[in-house]
Amino acid sequence: MNLRDPESMNLVIGRVLRYGVLISGIIILLGTISLAASSGLSDTAGVLVYNENVPHDGLDVSLASILHGLVTLSAFSWIELGVIVLIATPVARVIISVFLFAAERDRLYVLVTAVVLILLLFSMLVTPFIPGFHA
């Protein structure tokens, strides 16, 4: 595969997006199946609509709690992981685009894509810690 070829670039980027969404969907599906199976109800639709075991407010979504939940096989943590993978998929696309444009030696697009990446990372990693900022 010639990474300098625009068709190859599109193929790589398309695969990243496709596989990211597929992996995310599988993780969310497994978490949902685990949630339905652990409820013990015969009506799985009722589990997904309302279940007193589902924390409807105050759900801790910190990285530490998600990792702990993954280790303890918490269905909610697996669903949260699937959502994180889904959110990370377009970010991975931007990261890969920087390298593909660099391989193509297209400095303008490397610069533009790097700025987009910096803005994405800033909005995800820094803005939650700005006092008084509520998205």
E strand or H helix at 109, and its extent?
A: helix 107-125
The C-alpha atoms of residue 92 and residue 39 are separated, in whole angstroms, by 35
Q: What's the pLDDT at 135? A: 57
Q: Is residue 55 part of a domain?
A: no
What is the number of structural domains in the chain?
1
pLDDT per position in the chain (135 positions), as tens? 666 667 788 888 899 999 999 999 999 999 988 887 876 655 555 555 555 555 555 566 677 777 887 888 888 889 889 999 999 999 999 999 999 899 888 899 999 999 999 999 998 888 777 787 665
Q: What's the pLDDT at 30? A: 92
Q: DSSP assignment, residue 5?
A: S
- Tokens found for residue 132: 């008084």
Q: Is residue 134 part of a domain?
A: no
Q: Is residue 52 part of a domain?
A: no
Name the residue range of residue 105's domain: 6-47+60-129
Neighbours of 25 (CB within 10 A): 13
The C-alpha atoms of residue 124 and residue 118 are separated, in whole angstroms, by 10
